[in-house]
Structure formats: C-alpha cells, structure tokens
Amino acid sequence: MMSSVPLSWYLILSAILFGLGIAGFLFRKNLITVFMSIELMLNAVNLSFVAFSYHLKQVDGHIFTFFVMVVAAAEAAVGLAIILTVFKNRSTLEVDEVDSMKL
C-alpha cells in the first residue's frame, strides 16, 4: 500500500536525529548549543517511544515520553541556571574555556 509508512521509517528518523544530536554534542563549543543537542537526542528517543507505543497499541510509550518531557523541563531549568552562573563568573560560553574547577 503506497500511502502508508513502515514503522521502521520512524525508527530510522529517530536514529538519524539521535545521531545528529550526538554530532552536535561533540562538535559544538557553545554551552547552550551543546545543551540543545542533548534536547534533540531526547526528542529522538521520544519519537521511538511513540512509534513503539503505536506498534504495541499501548499508551505506555506516550507516558514515557511525557516523563521525558517533564525531566527535560527540570533539566532545562537547572541547566540554564548553571549556564547563567557560569556566564556571570567567566563571561564566556565556550566549553573549552570553562575548564577550571575554580576561578
């Protein structure tokens, strides 16, 4: 049937997004961009959850996704607060330059 999509395509998309997330995480130097790459990976995983949920015809995958979102929200709040503090103390966002434990 031409108009439907194999489930595996969703999973491949998820894998690609995850891979790009990793790439961003590894190659970017800006703390905020690194952080956003992590969010991208989380999103990729969420897509697999929802896809599997469809496959199993159960809502549990959605609930997992929901929890991931909530945790991501908490993570973003704390993470951005840390970034703010780092920037306040060192006035840079480059990962390479934030390398000492103390000022």
Near another protein by CB under 8 A: residue from 1, 100, 101, 102: 1
3-state secondary structure 31-92: HHHHHHHHHHHHHHHHHHHHHHHHHHCCCHHHHHHHHHHHHHHHHHHHHHHHHHHHHHHHCC
Cα distances from 39 to residues 7, 58, 68, 90, in angstroms, run 23, 25, 10, 24
Q: List the one residue from 45, 74, 99, 102 that touches another protein (CB under 8 A).
A: 74
Binding residues for another protein restricted to 12-71, rule: CB under 8 A: 12-13, 15-17, 19-21, 23-24, 27-30, 32-33, 35-37, 39-40, 43, 46-47, 50-51, 53-55, 57-60, 62-63, 65-67, 69-71
Q: Does 103 bind another protein (CB under 8 A)?
A: no
**# residues contacting another protein (CB under 8 A):** 71
**Closer to another protein at the Cβ: 28 or 98?**
28
Which of 57, 70, 72, 56 lies closest to 21 in space, CA to CA? 72
Shortest Å, Cβ 64 to another protein: 9
